[in-house]
């Protein structure tokens, strides 16, 4: 259902950018108008949110400066403390449009607003967006920002998502220190994509998976260049996290192996760092 | 005991060095060990980002400190910017489109990072992982958490880091500044009455982004995907590239992010705040656009010890008028504390980058200090963008 005339008139009250296309000329009056528009939109509930979304267009297809700005301000306002119910209503309304017939660029923008104001109530919708190649990365970012309930969505999607999206998912599982992702990380250590292998190594380090230490060290030693640099760092971080968790023997084993095996002059900083680490846990 | 810049006391340094083994107190490359150039000789450098600031940090923090450098590798996402590199830095400079190839080079001692800020953290971390010392342009980072990750990586591998601003070196030369620094680091002042106000010097309106950018064809000489990197992949527009990247949240954070590190660097040293951050932040600003940086009036930041820091844009909106600027003075201490203060050593001189590389100590603009300085800008921008008191 297209936006009503009343809604269009309301959104049209948002400030115009200046001649240079910026809001450098915001004055008290323009600020007050923006705040009034947003307050009215907040009161308008689901219908108002969807009507506002109806006014969005993909870049290059028209002028949606005002609804674009209004939607973000609505997300920021709804996300403020004390707006719990309104925030959830806003988020659900936005999330409901991810499966509607809308341009991908508009959906990306909607997901960015869910990153601002979304909560557990929208993680399922974002989880479904993971299967869309164009939306996967932005959906994974939003899930990582929301946190609560995100790991389950990412874990469920990982076996089924192909292409670049897999990297986004593995990275965000690592970021979340997702319990239950250990097997996924270990499997991904031998992925065809070196970037996925690097992300998996980081994940193992983040969750301090002692059982994967030897596999990680083997991988790092077998690689060269960029991948070796990154996976070796993952070994160091794994040792640090194990030590912090109280598993000093496991940490010591990693440090000892790094100190022993990194003999080239180009990796003397690794030997030195491993020596310091070993000294700290012994 | 007063802490040297970077927070590592002499006792702490010796303890960790002894624990790590005597061989690491004087790294072999300091003595010109196998295959390595002694730091008193020419530093070999990799340059990432060959735009306006490309190479400037090498000139400012290496050459001006009396040490020679040689650029062995240079990289830029814009092929046009590589055209003049060999003429500027010599025929030995290999040219790359992918900065990871620079990081992989085993013959490079120092990486100089002069890209837009959204790439800085990942590049600094990678450089540290690869055993390089680092010169990084300001602002150091785009987000607070990535700054902490940079600090951890630099410390993990014992790298030397220098931020691309040096106001604290000048501050050290001021007797008043040294006096305040000594008071603040002594631990004798339990409640700080200081109020430091930075008014003006932020191009508030000039650094506003455009809100109606329409997609343009990507120029053939530009790897736009690599340029965006960790930031969202948006349709190309020339205003998002080059100088004006500063005007967009994706890459920087407006005039506040671009200039704050310059002003906060001396402030932090003078007021002994290299290892801490404000705990309360309040901003006056209009609602902010999601992509384009906007105007702001002022930001008040308060530290746990009571110190107040104010950033007043002096261009838009009301001016800050809650408190007056006020230095910390010896008379803020009671007589007994003043006696104790006199017995303490004066602040140690700040090390220049080549000396820090040689001795493996913190350079003046070290990583923790730089992270804390830019964190002030990030906290201010968070308060501005959320419209909340933090």
pLDDT by residue (tens digit) across A89-117? Answer: 999 999 999 999 999 999 999 999 999 99
Chain-chain contact of B129 with A230 (C-beta, under 8 angstroms)? yes
Q: Are residues A147 and A181 in the same domain?
A: yes
List CB contacts (< 8 A) between B27 and chain A. Answer: 268, 272
**How many angstroms away from the CA of B182 is the closest CA of chain A?**
31
What number is the average pLDDT over the span A223-243? 98
Residues A226, A176 within the same domain: no
Of B16, B126, B287, the CB nearest to A34: B287
Q: Pick the range with the lowest mean pLDDT from A65-69, B7-11, B172-176, B319-323.
A: B7-11
Q: How confident is the model at residue B53 (pLDDT cuts 50, 70, 90)?
A: confident
Instruction: Give the whole-angstrom CA distance, residue B340 versus residue A63.
Output: 67
- Looking at every residue in chain B, the average pLDDT score rounds to 90
Chain A nearest-CA residue for B254: A24
The average pLDDT across B143-161 equals 98
pLDDT-based confidence at residue A83 (cuts at 50, 70, 90): confident
Contact between B161 and B363 under an 8 Å Cβ cutoff? The reply is: yes
Q: Does residue A250 carry a pLDDT above 60?
A: yes
Query: What CATH number is associated with residue A117?
Result: 1.25.10.10
User: With pLDDT > 70 as the criterion, what percentage of chain B qualifies?
Assistant: 90
Task: Give the closest-approach CA distance of B61 to chain A in angstroms.
Answer: 23
Q: How far is CA A242 from the centre of its chain?
A: 25
> Are B158 and A273 within 8 A, CB to CB?
yes
How much is the mean pLDDT over chain A?
96
Q: Is A2 on the interface with B (CB under 8 A)?
A: no
A229 plus A188 within the same structural domain: no
Mark yes or no for CB contact A22/B213 under 8 Å.
no
CA-nearest residue of chain B to A110? Answer: B290
Answer with the one of A207, A223, A242 that is the final residue of a domain.
A207
pLDDT exceeds cutoff 80 at B14: no
pLDDT confidence of residue A2? 63
Residues 167-226 in A contacting B (C-alpha not used; CB under 8 Å): 225-226
- Cβ-nearest to A225 among B104, B159, B235: B104
DSSP secondary structure letter of residue B354: H
Range in A45-59, B41-55, B273-287 the model is least confident about? B41-55
Which string of DSSP letters, residue by residue, matches B305-343?
TS-EEEEE-SSSSPPP-SS--B---GGGS-HHHHHHHHH
Q: Are B114 and B48 in contact (CB under 8 A)?
A: yes
Block residue for tokens 């906290």:
B379
Co-location of A55 and A169 in the same domain: yes
Tokens 């609602």 label which residue?
B287
Contact B292, B211 (CB under 8 A): yes
Range of the domain at A75: 5-207
Per-residue confidence band for B3, with pLDDT thresholds at 50, 70 and 90: very low
Q: Are residues A143 and A99 in the same domain?
A: yes
Angstrom CA distances, B370 to B23, B52, B79, B134, B356, stand at 30, 21, 30, 12, 16
Domains of chain B: 10-166 (3.40.50.720), 169-209+250-348+364-386 (3.30.360)
Contact of B292 with B384, CB cutoff 8 Å: no
Contacts of B292 in chain A (CB under 8 A): 22-23
- Judgement on whether residues A183 and A225 belong to the same structural domain of the protein: no
Residue range A190-199, pLDDT digits in tens: 999 999 999 9
Give tens-digit pLDDT for B367-382.
999 999 999 999 999 9
State the pLDDT confidence band at B40, using cuts at 50, 70 and 90.
low
- Both A117 and A135 in one domain: the answer is yes
Q: Searching chain A, which residue's CA lies closest to the CA of residue B206?
A: A24
Residues A80 and A111 in one domain: yes
Under an 8 A CB cutoff, do A26 and B286 touch?
Answer: yes
Cβ within 8 Å, pair A26-B130: no
As a whole number, mean pLDDT of residues A253-279 equals: 97
Instruction: Give yes or no: residues A196 and A68 share one domain.
Output: yes
Q: Considering CB atoms only, which of B27, B208, B387 is closest to A23?
A: B208
- Which long-range contacts link B179-183 to residues 24+ away (Cβ below 8 Å)? B179/B330, B180/B270, B180/B271, B180/B327, B180/B328, B181/B269, B181/B270, B181/B271, B181/B272, B181/B347, B182/B2, B182/B341, B182/B344, B182/B346, B182/B347, B183/B328, B183/B329, B183/B330, B183/B332, B183/B333, B183/B341
- Pick the last residue of a domain from A176, A207, A238: A207
Chain A CB contacts of B206 under 8 Å are 24
Residue ranges of A 102-141 with Cβ closer than 8 A to chain B: 112, 137-138
Whether residue B290 and residue A112 make contact (CB cut-off 8 A), yes or no, is yes
Q: How confident is the model at residue B97 (pLDDT cuts 50, 70, 90)?
A: very high
Interface mutation vs chain A, best among B204, B287, B318, most A CBs within 10 Å: B287
Residues A228 and A109 in one domain: no
Q: Is the pLDDT confidence value at A57 over 90?
A: yes
**Residue ending a domain, choose from A155, A184, A207:** A207
Query: Residue A179: which pLDDT band, with cuts at 50, 70 and 90?
Result: confident
Rounded to an integer, the average pLDDT of B85-113 is 96
Average pLDDT on A206-217 reads 98
C-alpha B387/C-alpha A78 separation (Å) is 12
Residues of A numbered 245-274 whose beta carbons fall under 8 angstroms of chain B's beta carbons: which are they? 265-270, 272-273
Q: What mean pLDDT is predicted for residues B238-254?
A: 97
Of B24, B130, B131, nearest to A275 by CB-CB distance is B24
Q: Give the three-state DSSP class for B121.
A: helix
pLDDT band at B100 (very low <50, low <70, confident <90, very high): very high
Residue A240 touches chain B, beta carbons under 8 Å: yes
Q: Which residues of A touch B212 (CB under 8 A)?
A: 17, 21, 63, 65
- A154 and A240 in one domain? no
Task: Report CA B9 to chain centroid distance, whole Å.
Answer: 22
Residue B27 has pLDDT above 60, yes or no: no
Indicate whether A43 and A91 sit together in one domain.
Answer: yes
Q: Are B214 and A76 an interchain contact pair (Cβ–Cβ within 8 Å)?
A: no
Q: How many helices (H) and strands (E) does chain B have?
A: 13, 10
What's the number of CA atoms in the CB half-sphere (13 Å) around residue B167? Answer: 17
* Res B6: pLDDT: 35
Residue B15 confidence class, pLDDT cut points 50, 70, 90: very low
**pLDDT (average), residues A177-187:** 96
Structural domain total, chain A: 2
Percent of chain B with pLDDT over 90: 88
- Test B158 with A269 for CB contact under 8 angstroms: yes
Q: How far is CA A135 from CA A84, A151, A161, in A?
A: 27, 17, 12
């Amino acid at each position: 259902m297209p936006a009503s005339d009343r809604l269009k008139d309301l959104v049209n009250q948002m400030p115009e950018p200046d001649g240079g296309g910026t809001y450098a000329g915001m004055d008290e009056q323009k600020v007050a108008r923006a705040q009034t528009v947003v307050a009215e939109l907040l009161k308008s509930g689901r219908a108002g949110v969807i009507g506002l979304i109806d006014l969005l267009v993909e870049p290059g297809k028209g002028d949606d400066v005002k609804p674009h700005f209004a939607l973000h301000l609505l997300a920021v306002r709804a996300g403020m403390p004390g707006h719990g119910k309104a925030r959830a209503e806003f988020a659900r309304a936005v999330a409901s449009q991810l499966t509607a017939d809308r341009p991908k660029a508009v959906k990306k923008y909607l997901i960015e607003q869910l990153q601002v104001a979304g909560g557990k109530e929208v993680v399922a919708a974002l989880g479904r967006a993971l299967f869309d190649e164009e939306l996967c990365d932005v959906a994974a970012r939003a899930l990582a920002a929301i946190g609560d309930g995100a790991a389950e969505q990412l874990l469920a999607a990982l076996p089924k998502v192909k292409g670049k999206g897999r990297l986004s998912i593995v990275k965000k599982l690592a970021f979340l220190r997702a319990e239950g992702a250990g097997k996924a990380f270990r499997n991904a250590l031998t992925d065809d994509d070196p970037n996925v292998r690097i992300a998996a190594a980081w994940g193992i380090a983040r969750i301090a998976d002692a059982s994967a230490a030897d596999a990680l060290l083997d991988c790092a030693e077998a690689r060269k260049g960029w991948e070796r640099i990154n996976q070796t760092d993952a070994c160091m971080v794994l040792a640090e996290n194990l030590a912090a968790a109280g598993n000093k023997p496991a940490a010591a084993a990693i440090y000892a192996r790094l100190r022993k095996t990194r003999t080239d002059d180009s990796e003397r900083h690794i030997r030195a760092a491993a020596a310091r680490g070993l000294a700290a846990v012994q | 005991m007063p802490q040297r810049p970077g927070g590592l006391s002499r006792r702490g340094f010796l303890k960790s060095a002894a624990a790590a083994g005597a061989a690491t107190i004087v790294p072999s490359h300091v003595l010109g060990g196998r295959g390595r150039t002694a730091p008193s000789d020419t530093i070999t450098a990799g340059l990432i980002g060959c735009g306006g600031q490309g190479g400037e940090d090498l000139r400012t923090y290496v050459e001006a400190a009396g040490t020679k450098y040689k650029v062995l590798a240079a990289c830029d996402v814009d092929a046009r910017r590589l055209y003049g590199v060999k003429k500027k830095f010599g025929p030995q400079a290999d040219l790359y489109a992918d900065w990871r190839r620079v990081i992989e080079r085993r013959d490079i001692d120092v990486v100089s990072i002069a890209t837009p800020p959204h790439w800085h953290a990942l590049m600094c971390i990678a450089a540290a992982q690869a055993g390089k010392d680092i010169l990084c342009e300001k602002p150091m980072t785009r987000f607070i958490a990535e700054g902490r990750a940079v600090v951890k990586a630099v410390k993990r591998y014992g790298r030397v880091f220098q931020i691309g601003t040096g106001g604290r070196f000048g501050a050290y030369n001021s007797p008043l500044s040294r006096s305040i620094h000594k008071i603040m680091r002594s631990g004798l002042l339990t409640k700080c009455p200081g109020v430091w106000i930075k008014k003006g010097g932020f191009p508030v309106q000039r650094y506003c982004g455009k809100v109606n950018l329409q997609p343009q064809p990507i120029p053939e000489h530009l790897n736009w995907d690599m340029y965006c990197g960790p930031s969202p992949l948006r349709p190309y527009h020339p205003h998002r590239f080059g100088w004006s990247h500063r005007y967009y949240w994706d890459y920087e954070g407006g005039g506040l992010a671009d200039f704050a590190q310059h002003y906060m660097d001396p402030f932090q040293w003078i007021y002994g705040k290299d290892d801490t951050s404000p705990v309360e932040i309040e901003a006056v600003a209009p609602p902010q656009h999601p992509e384009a940086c906007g105007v702001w009036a002022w930001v008040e930041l308060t530290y746990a010890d009571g110190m107040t820091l104010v950033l007043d844009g002096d261009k838009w909106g009301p001016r800050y008028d809650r408190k007056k600027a006020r230095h910390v003075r010896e008379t803020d201490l009671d007589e007994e504390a003043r006696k104790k203060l006199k017995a303490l050593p004066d602040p140690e001189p700040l090390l220049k980058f080549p000396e820090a590389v040689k001795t493996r100590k913190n350079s003046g603009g070290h990583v923790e200090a730089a992270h804390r300085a830019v964190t002030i800008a990030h906290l201010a921008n968070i308060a501005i963008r959320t419209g909340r008191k933090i």
